[in-house]
Amino acid sequence: MICSLQNIPSVVLKSNPKLCKLVLDSSDVKGKGIEYYLALPGWNPIYNSESVDGERWRKLLSIFRKLVHKIDYSERLTQITEKNCQKICNESENIDSMAIQKLTVRVFFELLFRKEITVEDEKLFIDATNEWRRHVAQKGESDFSMKERMVERILHHLHESQFDIEGLQNEFKADKFELVSSFMQPFLISPIINFSDIFCELSLLLKQNQKYQDKLIKLIDEKSDESTIGLHVAMLYEALRLKHPFPILERDLTKDITDGKIVLKKGTHVYVEFDGFTQNQKFQPENWLNADYYKENSWFLFATGPRMCAGRLIALNALEVILKELIRIKQGNFEKLKMWENHKVSGRTNDQAASIKELLFQVKMIFKVFKEILMKRLRN
């Protein structure tokens, strides 16, 4: 609908992995679809490097890469994550979604700022993230003042940190919000959302597939072989495949593409719909241990092509350590690992039914978008 109003040809792909992969490999443009008109305004006052295009995308991605280089994650992340897993388990008898959010913000804050987060900042960052989450997932208006308070706290920590803020601003000609977004969005807000989504879904899948809980219990004392994907990572991949935290990916085609049967023309806006993608619905993590299967299907995990997840190695490192450590510390007692409990909205179809208030918000947003597009067309 959004595309047809703008006279942009569009297509929805919810099967045909080969064509989806070609789309993602061929273009670095997100375009003006659902993400642009509905999700991006929800990110205000900051920017999401996953959603913007052009000059701003290149700038945010370059700053992100520079930060990754500065934080020495390969030397520090495992130890920081293990320490914080132990801490959260000491504090919480049962690990629910709230505990996963706390753990995630503690790990990534310490990774960035080389100090532990305070109780006050932890609460503010989680609450503010849930404001962003609600608005981006079109579940309701967000509390703008709370978001602004998180921005101010991040700026405060940046000025006290090892990062050369002025140098970064000058090098990339970045304004205050571009700079702060490069720290907040990929390292704090998105991980809090994605990690809690993934652990919510994985713990539900394990509850429904008890034999995999037993397999994980058997692995508690085993040393892992770091040269291959282990069962823990395979289970995380399988949770991503079946219940991905991103409901859709979007691209504007910058050239014609074909899988040999279907031709998609340059200029077409493509929605790759993960929610409801036609695929095997059984939980079969072992498939990921097969190199050919991985090669064929890995595009589904962190996307592929020029816009694929730039933080996937960091994300995977932290996710794997969290999964192993929580099971080890809780001695394989999955009754204490109900990570779906107290889980907030994710924007996926598996959320509970929308309330009237949410529906009204969505209707309001759609009218706003229609008006914006029509005004643009009248002006041109």
Q: What residue ranges bind ligand HEM (CB under 6 A)?
A: 49-50, 61, 64, 186-187, 190-191, 194, 198, 240, 245-246, 249, 302-303, 307-311, 314-315, 319
Fill in the amino acid letter for 26: S
- Residue 168: exposure state from Cβ atoms within 10 A (0-12, 13-18, ≥19): buried
Q: For residue 156, what are the β-bridge partners?
A: none
For residues 142 and 181, which CB has a smaller minimum distance to ligand HEM in the complex? 181
For residues 305 and 332, which CB has a smaller minimum distance to ligand HEM in the complex? 305
- 90: CB partners within 8 A, 6+ apart: none
Q: Where are the alpha helices (DSSP H) in 43-118?
A: 54-70, 73-91, 97-113
Name the residue among 116, 118, 114 with its Cα closest to residue 72. 114
Name the residue among 82, 65, 109 with its Cα closest to residue 311. 65
For residues 64 and 361, which CB has a smaller minimum distance to ligand HEM in the complex? 64
Cβ of residue 319: shortest distance to ligand HEM, in angstroms?
6
Tokens of residue 276, six digits: 């409801």
For residues 26 and 49, which CB has a smaller minimum distance to ligand HEM in the complex? 49
For residues 65 and 376, which CB has a smaller minimum distance to ligand HEM in the complex? 65
Cβ of residue 138: shortest distance to ligand HEM, in angstroms?
17
Name the residue among 68, 31, 18 with its Cα closest to residue 312. 68
In terms of DSSP bridges, do strands 269-273 and 10-13 run parallel, antiparallel, or are they unpaired? parallel
- The answer to whether the CB of 33 falls within 8 A of the CB of 272 is no
Cβ of residue 374: shortest distance to ligand HEM, in angstroms?
27
For residues 54 and 167, which CB has a smaller minimum distance to ligand HEM in the complex? 54
For residues 2 and 361, which CB has a smaller minimum distance to ligand HEM in the complex? 2
Cβ of residue 66: shortest distance to ligand HEM, in angstroms?
12
Taking phi first (over 0 means left), then psi (-120 to 50 degrees means alpha), and beta for anything else, what does residue 223 get?
A: beta
Reduce the DSSP state of residue 249 to 3 states and report it: strand
- 370: CB partners within 8 A, 6+ apart: 5
Cβ of residue 296: shortest distance to ligand HEM, in angstroms?
17
Q: How many other C-beta atoms are found inside a 10 Å radius of the C-beta of residue 234?
A: 19
- The answer to whether the CB of 197 falls within 8 A of the CB of 130 is no
Name the residue among 103, 147, 145 with its Cα closest to residue 125. 147
Residue nearest to ligand HEM (CB): 311
- Give 362's Cβ-side CA count (13 Å radius): 12
Cβ of residue 356: shortest distance to ligand HEM, in angstroms?
31
For residues 61 and 361, which CB has a smaller minimum distance to ligand HEM in the complex? 61
Cβ of residue 309: shortest distance to ligand HEM, in angstroms?
3
Cβ of residue 236: shortest distance to ligand HEM, in angstroms?
8
What values do phi and psi take at 251, rounded to 5?
-145, 145
For residues 139 and 311, which CB has a smaller minimum distance to ligand HEM in the complex? 311
Cβ of residue 70: shortest distance to ligand HEM, in angstroms?
13
